[in-house]
Amino acid sequence: MKPHSLHPWNVTPTEAREIQERFRNHVLQKNVARLRHIRHVAGVDVSIKNNRVIAAIVVLDFSSLEIIASSIHRQPVRFPYVPGLLTFRECPALLPAYEKIRVEPDLVLVDGQGIAHPRRFGLAAHLGVLLGKPTIGCAKSRLIGVYEEPHEEAGCYTDLFDGEELIGAVLRTRTNVKPLFISVGHKIELPTALDLVLNCCRGYRLPEPTRLAHQSAGGLLPSPRARYET
DNA sequence: GCGACAG
DNA sequence: ATCTTGTCGC
């Protein structure tokens, strides 16, 4: 369950972009077999506090959307926030948090873009490739791409394009609330990603996995090690 | 040069 | 992301 570390994290912005260009073709936009029997869905998110990165991962039972495991990992910030290079700021803390999880997730929802990224390698895509697992990018705002505003009813969506290329969708996860920017992370197709995200929504804008991971990273959920960790 | 820009 | 309380609307 230990993710492959195929490249260094202690890099310059220029090197970071080179790494993204080198790995962008590793993304698989195809549904894999395990998506047909999803039992565990994970949500990952990160918060920054006192110059420290707080990475949180929450694993939910796919059918009940109840928490069955979670973990947190904190470490110093080692990379600045640069649009397009978010992975190099958050991933170094997410990987250790992932290693602590005892339950193997079948799918991972990430708070950030998948391939809806300048080099088609946003955080969700990068994490998916490193973990070799299906991931979906669920961003709260746009990084790149043009789109038409989707209708106000929950479930409605429009395509997100970068020129002629379809890179994602703008999905209304809740009626009359700002839409989410969904894109393929890894080992999944966009239509499937949209369907699964909607199935993870419980009346809030953010799907449960990501929503709970966000609360966990912000220190709003009961301490993982006190309740769910072994 | 100017504006845009995941979290 | 973070700094921060109450408040308007479905």
CA-nearest of A225, A101, A127, A103 to A184 is A127
Largest CA distance in chain A: 50
Which residues of A are annotated binding-site positions for Mg(2+)? 45, 111
User: Residue A219: its pLDDT value, please?
Assistant: 81
Chain C: nucleotides below 7 Å from protein CB are: 1-3, 10
Nucleotide nearest to A123 (CA to C1'): B6
pLDDT tens-place string over residues A99-123? 999 999 999 999 999 999 999 999 9
Report CA dihedral (A117, A123, A129, A134) to the nearest 10 degrees.
-100
Residues of chain A with pLDDT under 70: 1-4, 222-230
- In one letter, which amino acid is A227? R
Q: Which residue is nearest to nucleotide B6 (CA to C1')?
A: A112
Residue A180 CA to nucleotide C5 C1', Å?
A: 26
Q: Round to a whole number and report the distance in Å from the CA of A100 to the C1' of B1.
A: 49
Three-state DSSP at A191 gives helix
**Rg of chain A on CA atoms, in Å:** 16
Please, which residues bridge with residue A166 across strands? A161
Nucleotides of B under 7 A from a protein CB: 5-7
* 197-226 on A, CB < 7 Å from strand C: 214, 218
Of A25, A185, A164, nearest to A105 by C-alpha is: A185
pLDDT for A6 equals 87
Residue at shortest CA–C1' distance from B5: A83
pLDDT computed for residue A229 by the predictor: 43
CA–C1' A138–C4 (A): 26
Binding positions of A are 45, 111
pLDDT at A1: 59
- Letter string b/e over residues A106-127, b meaning 16 or more CB atoms within 10 A of that residue's CB: bbbbbbbbbbbbebbbbbbbbb
Q: Which residues of A64-97 are buried (b: 16+ CB within 10 A; e: fewer)?
A: ebebebbbbbbeebebeeeebbbbbbbbbbbbeb
State the nucleotide closest to A50 in CA–C1' terms. C2
Q: What share of chain A is helix, strand, coil (3-state, %, to 5)?
A: 30, 25, 45
Q: Domain A28-227: what homologous superfamily?
A: archaeoglobus fulgidus dsm 4304 superfamily (3.30.2170.10)
- Whose tokens are 């709970």? That residue is A212
Minimum CA–C1' distance nucleotide for A141:
B6
Residue A24 tokens read as 């962008």
Q: Estimate in Å the CA A161 to C1' C10 gap, whole number.
A: 32
Amino acid at A34: R
pLDDT at A72: 97
Distances (CA, A) of A87 to A43, A73, A200: 16, 16, 24
Residue A91, φ and ψ in degrees, nearest 5: -60, -40
CA of A11 to C1' of B1 (A): 30
Residue–nucleotide distance: A213 CA to C7 C1' (Å): 27
| Beta bridge pairs of residue A40 | A61
